[in-house]
Amino acid sequence: MLPTSQQVSRINDVLYFIHQDISKELLARDLANIAAYSEQHFHRVFKAVVGESVHHYIRRTRLEFAANQLMFDGSATVLDVATKAGFSSVSSFSRAFKATFNCAPGQWRNLDRQDSNSEVAAYYQKISHIELPACELRELPPRHVAYIRHQGYDRSISNAWQTLKAWAAMNNVDFSQQFGLHHSNPAWVALDKCRYVACLAVESPITRRGIVNAMTIPGGLHAVFKLRGRYGELLPQLSNILANWLPTSGFKMQSTPAYVHYQKNQFLAPDERYELEFCLPISLFN
C-alpha cells in the first residue's frame, strides 16, 4: 500500500531533523515522537515512505558524510570525522566504514583519485580535465522553501519539479526562485540512491502539508560558482569543485547540504540546459 500524503509529511519532518545535525544522538523513539507515531508504527511508516529502515538510512547518511569529509578535509583526524558523523568510537566507525566502502578510513583518505583500478578513482579521472569556474565568497541568507524530496539523480527529478509547479499554481505561489539540494556525492553513491530535494522559495508558512512540505535551508558563508551546461554535465562539474577546488582553497566544507540556485532549470527547460549558482557551505579551519 502506498503511503498517504500525511505519512509522507510526517516522515519529511523526521528527515529534516536528521539532516540538521547527523552528529547528534538519533534515537528511534525520539524520531517517532517528531512524527507523532508510536515507535513500532514509526518504523513501518518510515520504511514505506523512504524505502529502507530508519537505522539503515541514518547509518548510510553518516557514512556518506564521513566519506566526503575524509576525502576533502585533510586537516580532520579520523576521530574528528567519526565524531562529526555521529559515531561513538573510532572502532565502530572504522568497522562500519570498511563494511560499506571496502577499505579503512585512512586508506580511503589516501586513495589515489587518478588510479583507474578504483571505481571512485575512475570517476575523478574522468572529471579531471574540466576547467574550474571562478569562485565568489558570499554570506547567504537562510532560504525558507517549500520542497519535495526525490531519490535518484536522473531525469525523473523533473517529476518532482512538475509536482511543485502544479502546487505553486494552485496556491498562487511565485515559481521563479528555485533551488535544488544535493545530499549525495555521485562518485561513491549509486545514482539511483542519490538524494535530491526540489525547493521553491516561499514567503509565508505552508498551512496544508502533504507531498509538499516546508523547511529552511541554512544561511552562512558559501563559496558560489556560476555554472551552465546541458543535462548530464552538472554532476561532473560539482564533483570537480569538491575534488580540485575545495582541498586547496583554505576552507572546509560544512555539514549542511550544498545547493544550487537555478536561473534556468534543466529539469523544466525544453532544451535541458541549465544556468545556476552552486552554493557550497564552507568555514575557515580552526
**Domains defined for the chain, CATH in brackets:** 5-127 (1.10.10.60), 135-284 (3.20.80.10)
Indicate the average pLDDT of the chain. 88
Look at residue 136 in the predicted model and tell me its pLDDT: 96
pLDDT for 143 equals: 93
Rounded to an integer, the average pLDDT of 238-255 is 86
Question: Which three cell numbers, joined as nine digits, stand for 153?
Answer: 539523480
**pTM check: above 0.95:** no
CA distance 130 to 244: 10
Spell out the residues 6+ positions from residue 280 whose beta carbon is closer than 8 angstroms to its own: 222, 223, 224, 225, 241, 242, 246, 253, 258
Greater pLDDT, 226 or 5? 226
Q: Are 140 and 219 in contact (CB under 8 A)?
A: yes
Pairing mode, strands 251-253 and 220-230: unpaired
**Residue 204, pLDDT score:** 79
* pLDDT recorded at residue 192: 87
What is the residue whose three cell numbers read 562500519? 96
pLDDT (average), residues 200-207:
85
- Higher-pLDDT residue of 244, 176: 176
Which residue has 573510532 as its cell numbers? Answer: 90
Radius of gyration for the alpha carbons in the chain, expressed in angstroms and rounded: 19
Q: Tell me if 74 sits within 8 A of 34, measured CB to CB.
A: no
Q: What is the mean pLDDT of residues 207-216?
A: 83
Q: In this model, does residue 234 exceed pLDDT 60? A: yes
pLDDT tens figures, 106-159? 888 876 554 545 666 666 666 667 788 999 999 999 999 999 999 999 999 999
Return the C-alpha cell found at 47: 520504511
Residue 124: per-residue pLDDT:
64
pLDDT at 175: 96
Q: Per-residue pLDDT tens for 189-200?
A: 888 888 899 999
pLDDT band with cut points at 50, 70 and 90 for residue 269: very high
Write phi, then psi, for 41 (nearest 5 degrees). Answer: -70, -35
